[in-house]
Structure 1
Amino acid sequence: MKRGLLILLGIIVLVGGYLGYRAQRIIWAPNVVSLEQSHHLYIEPGTSYEELLLQLDTLLIHREYFELLAEWKKLPHNIKPGKYAISSGMSNNSLVNRLRAGIQEPVRLTLNMAYTLEDLAGQAGEALEPDSLDFLKYLKSEEVLEDFKISRKELPGFFLSNTYEFYWITSPHDFVQRMLRESERFWQSRTALLEKSGLSRHEVITLASIVESETARPDEMPMVAGLYLNRLEKGIKLQSDPTVIYAMKIEDPDLIVQRVYTKNLDIDSPYNTYLHTGLPPGPIRIPDPRSIDAVLKAQDHSYIFMCADPDRPGYHSFAQSLRQHNINKAKYHRWANRNGIR
């Protein structure tokens, strides 16, 4: 009797040990293959459990162990779309918990050199799960204006060139909402400067977009901003070539313009600042925060004319008088003609 009991206890211990070993292998043992570099798993909305298993197939050492734990933790009914970081040697427990809880890896989205909503949608669609057409459709819809109580001309001004972190599955609505929140945060720290400028946010953003289109040199931006503020104060047309180019590209988005000629200056558009006094209806590009600050901290001077300076690529020659401006302009035209710029 005693011997039989000992045998039974021995069997129980062996079975318990085996079950513990199996549990350890299934739950906590490493089950992701060795990866030479960080790997990301992208789960699209609507992905089924079977499709998820296919994506994981080459990453798992023992797929059957993963499936056992996934079923037990009800992962098949709790699949959350997103971008997930997968690392070498992850256990099934870590992987299942990450996927079931939706612990995503953020993606970096850089908004830069965006002139139109199409550019903006393209950059967002390249980094995030929704297609660029989904972003563009929302940005051009009446829905976005109703959702955030803004006007069509104000919308581009809420997007600031910068690098942001988003979750991969961010929707067009949530993307705009985040951009408006970032815009508010940006302007809260510039309240005093904005009041001192005497301009509205929209006016500052619109002027900043012109300044940034005129010069890529941050150290020259305050000088250019001061020039345009002088012209606005005196009621002189801004006569900014980039606004003409913007008007031309509204009519033909694929048009490549290297030089603005006199014949281009009569294009009928509210963005043509050679025809219309004051600022155009809205920004001609998505401005960088540096160009906005250049307007808010514009340099105080008496210049009202400027022309590209061939002796300093990227910079301009400034003038107070039309006579000096014509001299500067003639110098630039000679240089452009010699270099075949058309």
Structure 2
Amino acid sequence: MENEWKHNADAQNDRRRISRRITLIIVSVILAILLTAAGVGYVFFKNALAPVDESSTKSVKVEIPLGAGTSTIANILKEKGLIANETIFRYYVRYKNESAFQAGTYALSKAMTPDEIIGELKTGTVMKAADVKMTIPEGVTMTRQIAIISKATGFKAEDIEKTLTDEEYIQSLVDRYEMLTSEIQKKGVLYPLEGYLYPATYEFDKGKSVTEIVESMLDEMEKVYSENQSEIESSGMTFHEVLSLGAMVEREAATPNDRREIAGVFKNRLDTGMKLQSDPTVWYGTGRNTALTTLKDLENESRYNTYKYEGIPIGPIATVSKDSIIAVLNPNKTKNVYFFARPPSEKNPNGQILYEETYEAHQQNVVKYKPEWVEYEENKNL
């Protein structure tokens, strides 16, 4: 009897020990999870409240509208890439009991902490309006770009052109910009930087030199190049060739929706060994500002003439938008090989592109609608 009682007591003690061990293990696991979660949370919040890019030296223009609340401001800052997480920023502002943000246009930086951004928005130290504002449209030639820069800055057009064609300066740019290669220096290229000055609206203070203005435009195109570098490399084309095709797409497209279809047409022509036969390349080589191409124009010896020479032209013929670059890299898979552009009209203010798979159908469009261009040119010159 005594032995049985002792046996039961030992069993109970064993169960207690096991129970204590299990409880200790469970508590240890829970503590470990809590500590890990706390550590991860700390790192997450620390990163969310740190500068997005401590090494950034560029300012970012931010417009805070009148009456904007913390949520709106947080979303604006996130869209501009100035904060890592809009939700954390919003709760951080609430935790610090910050308010009285001022509406206005600010020059902020990705190197700023959320506290520094909050301080700027509270002081209302808004960005000073730029002295110079100029817009470079999509699809305009270098001649037009030079005229726009000249008018905006007061620099003489001939001085701007001299800078843009200076061999030593161009070589220095090739050495500095990854997107620029010796392709822009080939014999026959009219303007080395044609197509590389990104079309956009630029604002800057007086005192900027021509080279500073040009390089700010190159910087914007370099961003587009970097963003799409892998697709460019897999396309089998150089960036110079992508821009050359992109400029043709830019000049030919009547609407944004036409870009990828026209790019698809050009791809079909290249794949079958057909000449690209784009009228804007002819006009660029002749320097004529017209929509009517003559037989004499088609025979000009310019290396841009895609009626005379096969393949992609020697260089871009105009400014190129990001959309046209993406269209060239992602053309429509189409059976169309031909297209004809109708001029702007009341029904189609931007014109209309008619696509065809066969030469016969295309020629019918040419015969039917080419007189519209004659009338359009005549009215334009009135």
> What's the TM-score, normalizing by structure 2?
0.56
Distance 2:159 2:370 in 1: 44
Q: State percent identity of aligned pairs.
A: 31
Query: How many angstroms does 1:336 deviate by?
Result: 4.4
1:330 counterpart SS class = helix
Listed as ranges, the matches of 1:128-143 within 5 Å are: 128=153, 130-143=155-168
Q: Measure the CA separation in 2 of the matches of 1:336 and 1:109.
A: 31
* C-alpha distance after superposition, 1:39-74 (max 9, x if no partner): xxxxxxxxxxxxxxxxxxxxxxxxxxxxxxxxxxxx
Once residues 288 and 309 of structure 1 are traced to their aligned partners in structure 2, the CA distance between those partners, rounded to angstroms, is 22
Asked if 2 retains the 8 angstrom alpha-carbon contact of 1:306 and 1:316, the reply is yes
C-alpha RMSD of matched pairs (Å):
2.5
Which residue, 148, 157, 167 being the options, matches 2:173? 148
Report what 2:356 is aligned to: 319
Structure 2 counterpart of 1:112, one-letter code: P
- Asked whether the equivalents of residues 212 and 287 of structure 1 are also in contact (C-alpha less than 8 Å), the reply is yes
Asked if 1:298 is matched to 2:331, the reply is: yes
Which stretches in structure 1 are left out of the alignment for 5+ residues?
1-102, 250-254
AA in 2 matched with 1:125: S
Please report how far the alpha carbon of residue 144 of structure 1 lies from its aligned counterpart in structure 2 after TM superposition. Answer: 1.8
Residue by residue over 1:208-261, the C-alpha shift from the partner in whole angstroms, topping out at 9 and shown as x without a partner, is: 111111123111111111101111111100011111111221xxxxx4423113
Unmatched segments (≥5 aa) in structure 2? 1-127, 175-179
Contact 1:271 1:280 in 2 (8 A): yes
Normalising by structure 1, we get a TM-score of 0.62
How far apart are residue 202 of structure 1 and its match? 0.7
Indicate conservation of the 8 Å contact 2:298/2:308, yes or no.
yes
> Does structure 1 residue 239 correspond to structure 2 residue 277?
yes
The residue aligned with 1:183 is 221
Q: Could you tell which deviates more after superposition, 307-316 or 140-149?
A: 307-316
Does structure 2 conserve the Cα–Cα contact (< 8 Å) formed by 1:197 and 1:296?
A: yes
Aligned pairs for 1:26-37 within 5 A: none
Aligned equivalent of 2:307: 274
Letter of the aligned partner of 2:150 in structure 1? G
CA distance in 2, matches of 1:272, 1:157: 17
CA offset at residue 105 of structure 1? 3.7
What letter is aligned with 1:111? Answer: I
1:144–1:173 contact (8 Å) kept in structure 2:
no
- Residue identity matched to 1:231: R
Q: Tell me how far 1:294 sits from its aligned partner.
A: 2.0
CA distance in 2, matches of 1:321, 1:198: 27
Matched residue of 2:195: which SS?
Answer: helix
Q: For each residue in 1:101-160, what CA deviation from the matched residue of structure 2 results, as whole angstroms up to 9, or x when unmatched?
A: xx8845322112564433222212222253333322211212321321253345223211
Query: How far is 1:204 from its partner?
Result: 1.0
- Once residues 197 and 366 of structure 2 are traced to their aligned partners in structure 1, the CA distance between those partners, rounded to angstroms, is 34
Q: Within 2, Cα distance between the matches of 1:336 and 1:177?
A: 39
- Specify the SS of the correspondent of 1:158: coil
